Structure 1
Amino acid sequence: MSSVDQITKPICEGDREVLLALAEASIRHGLQHGRPLPVDSTAYTAPLQQQRASFVTLLKQGQLRGCIGHLEATQPLVADVAANAYSAAFQDPRFPSVTAAELPLLDIHLSLLTPAQPLTFDSEADLINLLRPGKDGLILEEGHHRGTFLPSVWAQLPDPKAFVTQLKIKAGLSANHWSENIRVFRYTTESFP
């Protein structure tokens, strides 16, 4: 089995629970110590020790309260989740830091990313036809502009053209911008709970 196959294999329910508990523990640690929970990855199961990219999304009463993650795998999954949980709670520039009073009101959602694969297309219409609504996460890049939408964003933007348009805006480009220098990468996620 290749390393990519191992990374795309879903993790077991027990490991999911461990990651969710770890994310909450890192936020609690951040409230007390002002930094992410230090993690010894060797204390966890093999799937949780693999280098994987993740996003941590915090919701408060169904509303976004923070979302931070990595697009590339640079560290063991447990360390990535701990770091991203801390960052989502305390470093998302869209929100003030989470308070101790808010912690019991937060719902923590994790998205584990597969390695991103480049898409080949000749036009914006061609790109839109390649998309798999509800399944694809996208990274759009041109020059120093870069943005991503997780697959969960399809719930708010189910139309592929609107999905691409809003992703261009998120990347700092205009809604109608198009050039042959745009690069797009596709990934999927394993999201829970």
Structure 2
Amino acid sequence: MNNISSALAPPHKQQLLQLAGESIKKGLRGETLSVRATDYPQPLRVLRATFVTLHVDASLRGCIGTLEAHQTLVQDVASNAFSAAFRDPRFSALTWTEYERLDIHISVLSPPEPLQFSSEDELLAQLHPRVDGLIIEEGYNRGTFLPSVWEQLPDPREFLRQLKRKAGLSPDYWSSRIRVQRYTTESIP
């Protein structure tokens, strides 16, 4: 299984949290934060995929991310923080009042690793609850659950059923064309 090659140092994690908060503050002012990767230390300039999850008073308020790395870590965090606050289609735009009670969580993803299996039971036997994030794909249907979703869905079979539902498939759907990848995350904070 792919593990994140090097854990981020606490000061780098703090920089990412501050960056996410600043990106959201700029958005609240109707502006977009411009991020120059060269202004940040090398570990924050590598190409990485991230998700930014927002909670207000312990309730989900937004979650947006990328599954494949296509920009630097700092650029991805700033972009996903802005999108989680203002572009998550499940929620209206974040307000200043909510910002005062906002909890920001960043997940830095390892590169996805394809899983090989010939049945649903074989797939389930390979899963590492509370460790694996999963991406499921079948044709145009695609969905992902971060490893943190195991907290709400600790049973591997139910985790997979709900992930299929999220991808637009029936929870009992199975096909030899289903593709599944797993990844791990480094969580901040």
Alignment correspondent of 1:19: 16
Aligned equivalent of 2:55, options 44, 53, 59:
59
Equivalent residues in 2 for 1:120-139, closer than 5 Å: 120-139=116-135
Which amino acid counterpart does residue 88 of structure 2 have in structure 1? D
1:165 equivalent to 2:165? Answer no
Residue 92 of structure 1: how far off its partner (Å)? 0.3
Deviations 1:122-149 (A, max 9, x none): 1001100100000000000000000000
CA deviation string 1:139-164 (max 9, x = no partner): 00000000000000000000000000
Q: 1:91 aligns with which of 87, 98, 120?
A: 87
Give the aligned residue type for 2:6: K
Specify the alignment match of 1:112 in structure 2: 108
The match for 1:49 is 45
Question: 1:38 corresponds to which letter in structure 2?
Answer: S
- Letter of the 1:122 partner, please give it: S
What is the match of residue 28 of structure 2?
31
CA distance in 1, matches of 2:63, 2:165: 18
Q: Which has the higher contact order (CA 8 A, sep 6+)?
A: 2
Residue 146 (structure 2) aligns with: 150
Aligned to 2:106, the other structure's residue is in SS state: strand
- The amino acid across from 2:40 in the alignment is Y
Identity of aligned residues (%): 56
Structure 1 stretches of 5 or more lacking a match? none
* Residue of structure 1 equivalent to 2:7: 10
Q: Determine the structure 2 residue equivalent to 1:189.
A: 185
Alpha-carbon distance, 1:34 to partner: 4.2
TM-score normalised to structure 2 length: 0.97
Structure 2: distance between partners of 1:122 and 1:78? 39
Shift of 1:100: 1.1
Give the aligned CA root-mean-square deviation in angstroms.
1.1
Q: Normalising to structure 1: TM-score of the pair?
A: 0.95
Give the secondary structure class of the aligned counterpart of 1:102: helix
Following TM superposition, by how much is the alpha carbon of 1:118 offset from its aligned partner in structure 2, in angstroms?
A: 0.1
CA-CA distance at 1:50 after TM superposition:
0.1
Structure 2 unaligned residues grouped into runs of 5+: none
Distance across 1 between alignment mates of 2:89 and 2:157: 28
Mapped pair 1:68 → 2:68:
no
**Shift in Å at residue 8 of structure 1?**
2.4
- Helix, strand or coil: the match of 2:182? strand
Q: SS at 2:96's partner residue?
A: coil
